[in-house]
Structure 1
Amino acid sequence: MTIERFEAPFALVRFRTGAGVRLGLLAGERVRPLSSDDLGAAGLNDFLAAPDWDRLSALATDDGEWMPLADVALTAPVEPRQLLQTGANYRQHVIELVVAGLTQDGTRTPDQARSFAADIMDERKRTGEPYFFIGLPAGVVGDDVPLVLPSYSKVHDWELELAIVIGREAFRVSREDALGHVAGYTIVNDITTRDLVFRKDMKEIGTDWYRAKNAPGFFPAGPLLVPAPFVDPSDLNVRLELNGEVMQDASTSDLLFDIPALVSGASQTMPLLPGDLLLTGSPAGNGQHWKRFLRDGDVMTGSIEGLGTQVVRCVAEEVR
């Protein structure tokens, strides 16, 4: 794995051992296992409910049982019980989608359509609410697991996203208090099967996010859980390369609804639990835009400033 674009003093990780998966502390180029005594909590989510970062900071500089990072196989750094996703949340991305639709019949020039779309987005930001839907936590894996492309489609797509990791339980919290419920941040690549997004048998039903987004391994996460005190989520570069070619390159400063708005909005319906993931949306540059979808042998390198880099390898599903 790589920790490029990671500069925090430490981060939480989970790594594979002969006995399964263990929680660990990453500091520099080395990793140490974390016991419940080290955490002062029974496990990861219990720790995130009331994270004591000073406790981990002290461990990051002591002479514990450290291993070289190169000798460790990292996996997903989180164990969410709930996974929420945010749609249409990058201003420029949504504007371009609207422009593409409005210019098809020739009644508006691209500039007219862009101005119209920008006004819609600005009004939505002032008076609207975030758009949420749910994913299955069972789809969360590390980038140590190849992404198996289901054989029932040839239009599997990427969507790199900043993911919020919930700390203290959040239920109907205000925007002003929302950041107090964020434990940290990680990377998630939200894989989508495009030809399953809209139902063909009954168009009135609309979107089918269950079938389009929840195949095994469709939420590659991590490799790091970086504590919130080390991250300013307001202006982070989000970048995805496909086989070395840049496909997505944007900033979280373009989010229509920022982190406090998302946490507050999502918490109004159901309590957000420690360790849950709240994805913030994906910027422009997915496969649908490029008319290029994932294939056997593709390698996606996704990075978010300050959160490291994940490398996801794609393999075709074996048809039996």
Structure 2
Amino acid sequence: MKRARIAWAGAVHDGVEAEGGLELLTSAFKGRRVGFDEVVWLPPLAPTPRPRTVLALGLNYADHAKELAFKAPDEPLAFIKGEASLIGHRAFTVRPDGVNFMHYECELAVVIGRTAKRVSKADALQHVAGYTVANDYAIRDHLENWYRPNLKVKNRDTCTPIGPWLVDAADVHERFGGPMNLALKTTVNGNITQQGNTKDMIFDVPTLIEYFSGFMTLMPGDLILTGTPDGVVDCQPGDVVITSIEHIGELTNTITAQGQA
């Protein structure tokens, strides 16, 4: 099932995909259908539990590490992002004034559904609620060192669009063969600029859950952004960036200048 969280008619609603539209689940409007263009899309996460921790992976695809002239890491390279960076489908991401290089990163996002503490790789996927698409923008100007990234590189308001859907883990695991063979693609203004597949991750989803839960407790609602393949390019105000993942969804985002936000 594809789940969404949207604003419509002055209120926030949960909904599910239904015949090319959205079927609302809110009690007062339960069963009502609305069009995709009638709503404001929010990050597809319930308010409770909301993300306590957003973990993002760097250099988790060997081709992307090579693209950036870095050695692939021997263990997961991760950093923490704030929840304020998250925005929804069709929202605007601000390119700060004076920036020389700002690029998208199409990433599979894992949403934790059950508390995970010292979870084995074999049991890891049982702790996943679902999957969504993330676009983890990076502002390369502030990148001193991939192994010690400056907070200004990734942790900015509006710089992590996610959505539009949260796809139930059961669907991905049972219908689509799991999270480790999904095609990724990015277009900028309709031109394909990035292609890859989750099978090329250095550290796969079960490995990441085992790794993180080995030294910290993952809570329901926590997010793991699993890294991006090569093919990143600079994005300018006005650019329309679409990051898509097979079976998960197509996330649209537009860059805007700081003074226009």
- 1:190: which partner in 2? 136
> How many angstroms apart in 1 are the aligned matches of 2:150 and 2:11?
31
**Runs of 4 or more off by more than 6 Å in structure 1?**
none
Any idea what SS the aligned residue of 2:64 has?
A: helix
- 1:71: which partner in 2? 38
TM-score after normalising by structure 1: 0.73
- 1:306: which partner in 2? 247
> How many angstroms apart in 2 are the aligned matches of 1:27 and 1:302?
22
1:217 is the counterpart of 2:158: yes
- In 2 relative to 1, CA 307–245 (structure 1 residues): closer, same or farther, beyond 3 Å? same
- 1:82: which partner in 2? 53
- In 2 relative to 1, CA 68–143 (structure 1 residues): closer, same or farther, beyond 3 Å? closer
- 2:232: which partner in 1? 286
> How many angstroms apart in 2 are the aligned matches of 1:97 and 1:318?
30
- 1:239: which partner in 2? 185
Which among 175, 181, 202 is matched to residue 127 of structure 2?
181
- Could you say which structure has the higher helix fraction? 1
Any idea what SS the aligned residue of 1:260 has?
A: helix
- 1:22: which partner in 2? 13
Instruction: Name structure 1 gaps, 5 residues minimum.
Output: 1-9, 39-62, 102-116, 200-204, 288-292
Q: How many aligned positions are there?
A: 252
| Counterpart residue type for residue 62 of structure 2 | R
Q: Which has the larger radius of gyration?
A: 1
Q: CA RMSD in A?
A: 2.5
Measured after TM superposition, the shift of residue 157 of structure 1 is 1.2
Any idea what SS the aligned residue of 1:14 has?
A: strand
Measured after TM superposition, the shift of residue 310 of structure 1 is 1.2
Any idea what SS the aligned residue of 2:80 has?
A: strand
> How many angstroms apart in 2 are the aligned matches of 1:235 and 1:20?
37
Structure 1 stretch 246-255 or stretch 27-36: which is displaced more? 27-36
Measured after TM superposition, the shift of residue 37 of structure 1 is 11
Post-superposition CA distance 1:137-196 (Å, at most 9, x none): 111001232111111423111111011011111112111111000111000100111011
Q: Percent identity?
A: 36
> How many angstroms apart in 1 are the aligned matches of 2:6 and 2:131?
18
Q: How does 1:1-320 map to 2 (within 5 A)?
A: 10-35=1-26, 64-78=31-45, 79-98=50-69, 128-198=74-144, 207-231=148-172, 232-287=178-233, 293-318=234-259
- In 2 relative to 1, CA 264–209 (structure 1 residues): closer, same or farther, beyond 3 Å? farther
Any idea what SS the aligned residue of 1:154 has?
A: coil
- In 2 relative to 1, CA 276–249 (structure 1 residues): closer, same or farther, beyond 3 Å? same
TM-score after normalising by structure 2: 0.88
- In 2 relative to 1, CA 253–185 (structure 1 residues): closer, same or farther, beyond 3 Å? same
Any idea what SS the aligned residue of 1:225 has?
A: strand
Measured after TM superposition, the shift of residue 132 of structure 1 is 1.4
- Could you say which structure has the higher strand fraction? 2
The answer to whether the 8 Å contact 2:7/2:41 transfers is yes
> How many angstroms apart in 1 are the aligned matches of 2:201 and 2:67?
14
Any idea what SS the aligned residue of 2:185 has?
A: strand
Measured after TM superposition, the shift of residue 68 of structure 1 is 3.4
The answer to whether the 8 Å contact 1:75/1:144 transfers is no
The answer to whether the 8 Å contact 1:154/1:294 transfers is no
Any idea what SS the aligned residue of 2:224 has?
A: strand
Post-superposition CA distance 1:205-239 (Å, at most 9, x none): 97333111111111000000001112121111110
Measured after TM superposition, the shift of residue 96 of structure 1 is 4.5
Any idea what SS the aligned residue of 1:296 has?
A: coil
